[in-house]
């Protein structure tokens, strides 16, 4: 039986694909809706993988598998076994989702595009629900702050919402620049949808979201300058400039204030201001978490253990009288430092390799889409412990699996730019 026949006709293949796409729709809307379709999708995809072994890009994914194995090994010096097992359960998606992505994409080179269509639909629903939430807040309280941050993000933390919206902009931006929008509806809809998502991302006023958005916009503008010619290039760049200006205008004051507050917290940390430990400011508490994480790494080069990271950080917070950080039981607020506290220098190195190996591959192969995806992960993993929660694990494992296993429909930035009529 051919792979195409196996995936297209039997019920199990169709169920796996629809469960997979449902996960893509629900992920940006509400994480509470994801576990059941996710479990169904993974089980069905694993059945497909057993029946027809998929091709998995081990050259890009091997650090991810070692990352999980290292957490299993870290259980051997863990005292809090319950939390360690919970952590392994959360991270299991990093092991299974790339395999599932390869299985669901067998014989279907359109799976990445179909997944992004579903994910974009879910993102638009989340944007609509977020605007409704903000409007309800505004009509009740009359505050302009209702249209930013948690008041604008429907269910997810604003940083994760911004991460998702940036990925939508990156994917379809690469598609547009590469001339892959062959359907008439896509050429009509996306030029309207993408500016809305971009402005929404800026309005969220997430610092990591703004940095991530700025990074991918620079890459996309550079690709447009490289690939497009004549009037098409002028039109695309002019429209981009207008949309970016609109986004900046919508929340420039709030974003600037948040960036200034973050820099002020950094200066206090550099000056060793003891008051930073008692501060209730979010930027100050993040820096306290970073400082305690570095301190714990220095004290335990092999880490506290998979399940004992919370205890290690809590001890540091209590020693420094960081009451607010202790009460909130803050994690490291950086995936790199989080892995370092749990698993020491080996954990830090393998987490860096999780990022660098696919990034180098994307750079060498001129795969702009993979580079954008990893860059966005780097930005968010620097300031959030993204692989400690479902919202980060499922998103990263799902799309990294697709990007590395599919015959991608996206266009890489090739040495010879595509000529457009001038």
What is the structure's pLDDT at 1? 41
Cα dihedral 375, 377, 381, 387 in deg (nearest 10): -160
What would the pLDDT profile of 127-169 be if each residue is shown by its tens digit? 999 999 999 999 988 877 888 888 999 999 999 999 999 999 9
Q: Which residue has the tokens 């006023």?
A: 205
Q: Based on the number of CB atoms within 10 Å of its own CB, is 82 exposed (0-12), middle (13-18) or buried (19 or more)?
A: exposed
pLDDT category of residue 94 using cuts at 50, 70 and 90: very high
With 60 as the cut, is the pLDDT of residue 404 above it? yes
End-to-end CA distance of the chain: 49
Average predicted confidence (pLDDT) for the chain: 85
pLDDT at 285: 83
Residues 60-83: tens digit of each pLDDT: 999 999 999 999 999 999 999 999
Q: pLDDT at residue 255 above 70?
A: no
What pTM was estimated for this model as a whole? 0.88
For residue 411, pLDDT beyond 60: no
Question: CA 47, CA 60: separation in Å to the nearest integer?
Answer: 23
Predicted confidence (pLDDT) per residue in 96-126, tens digit: 999 999 999 887 888 999 999 999 999 999 9
pLDDT at position 24 over 80: yes
Choose the weakest-confidence range: 18-27, 98-107, 265-274, 369-378.
Answer: 265-274
Contact of 105 with 406, CB cutoff 8 Å: yes
Report the residue count for the chain. Answer: 422
Tens of pLDDT, residues 188-247: 888 888 888 988 998 888 888 889 998 998 888 888 887 777 766 676 667 667 666 666
Q: What is the DSSP string of 285-338?
A: HHHHHHHHHHHHHHH-TT-S-TT-HHHHHHHHHHHTT-HHHHHTT---SSHHHH
Q: For tokens 């296993």, name the residue.
A: 405
- Position of tokens 């409704």? 132
Q: From CA 76, how far away is CA 403, in angstroms rounded?
A: 34
State both tokens at 323.
């009451």
How much is the pLDDT for 412?
40
Round to whole Å and give the CA distance between 245 and 231: 21
Mean pLDDT, residues 314-339: 91
Contact between 351 and 332 (Cβ < 8 Å): no
What pLDDT, on the 0 to 100 scale, is given for residue 86?
A: 95
What separation in angstroms does the CA of 217 have from each of 75, 368, 371? 41, 12, 13
Separation CA 344–CA 91 (nearest Å): 18
């Amino acid at each position: 039986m051919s792979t195409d026949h196996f995936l297209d006709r039997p019920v199990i293949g169709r169920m796996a694909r629809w469960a997979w796409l449902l996960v893509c729709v629900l992920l940006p809307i509400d994480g509470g809706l994801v576990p059941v379709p996710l479990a169904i999708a993974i089980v069905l995809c694993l059945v497909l993988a057993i029946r027809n072994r998929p091709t998995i890009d081990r050259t890009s994914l091997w650090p991810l598998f070692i990352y999980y194995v290292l957490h299993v090994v870290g259980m051997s010096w863990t005292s809090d076994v319950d939390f360690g097992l919970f952590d392994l359960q959360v991270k299991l998606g990093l092991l299974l989702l790339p395999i599932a992505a390869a299985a669901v994409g067998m014989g279907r080179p359109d799976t990445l595009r179909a997944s992004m269509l579903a994910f974009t639909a879910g993102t638009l629903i989340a944007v609509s629900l977020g605007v409704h939430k903000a409007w309800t807040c505004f009509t009740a309280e009359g505050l302009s702050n209702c249209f930013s941050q948690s008041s604008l993000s429907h269910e997810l933390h604003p940083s994760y919402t911004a991460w998702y919206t940036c990925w939508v902009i990156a994917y379809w931006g690469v598609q547009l620049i590469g001339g892959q929008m062959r359907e008439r509806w896509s050429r009509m809809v996306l030029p309207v949808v993408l500016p809305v998502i971009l402005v929404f991302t800026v309005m969220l006023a997430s610092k990591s979201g703004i940095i991530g958005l700025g990074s991918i916009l620079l890459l996309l503008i550079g690709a447009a300058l490289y690939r497009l010619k004549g009037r098409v290039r002028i039109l695309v760049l002019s429209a981009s400039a207008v949309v970016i200006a609109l986004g900046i205008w919508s929340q420039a004051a709030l974003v600037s204030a948040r960036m200034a507050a973050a820099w002020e917290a950094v200066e206090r940390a550099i000056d060793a201001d003891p008051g930073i430990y008692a501060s209730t400011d979010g930027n100050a508490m993040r820096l306290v978490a970073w400082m305690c994480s570095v301190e714990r790494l220095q004290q335990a080069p092999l880490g506290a253990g998979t399940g004992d990271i919370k205890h290690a950080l809590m001890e540091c917070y209590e020693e420094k009288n960081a009451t607010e950080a202790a009460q909130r039981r803050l994690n490291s607020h950086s995936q790199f430092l989080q892995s370092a506290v749990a698993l020491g220098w080996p954990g830090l190195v393998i987490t860096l390799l999780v990022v660098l190996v696919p990034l180098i591959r994307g750079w060498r192969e001129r795969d702009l889409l993979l580079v954008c995806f990893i860059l966005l992960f780097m930005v968010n993993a620097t300031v959030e412990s993204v692989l400690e929660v479902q919202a980060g694990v499922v998103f990263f494992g799902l799309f990294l699996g697709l990007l590395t296993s599919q015959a991608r429909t996206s266009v890489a930035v090739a040495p010879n730019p595509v000529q457009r009529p001038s």
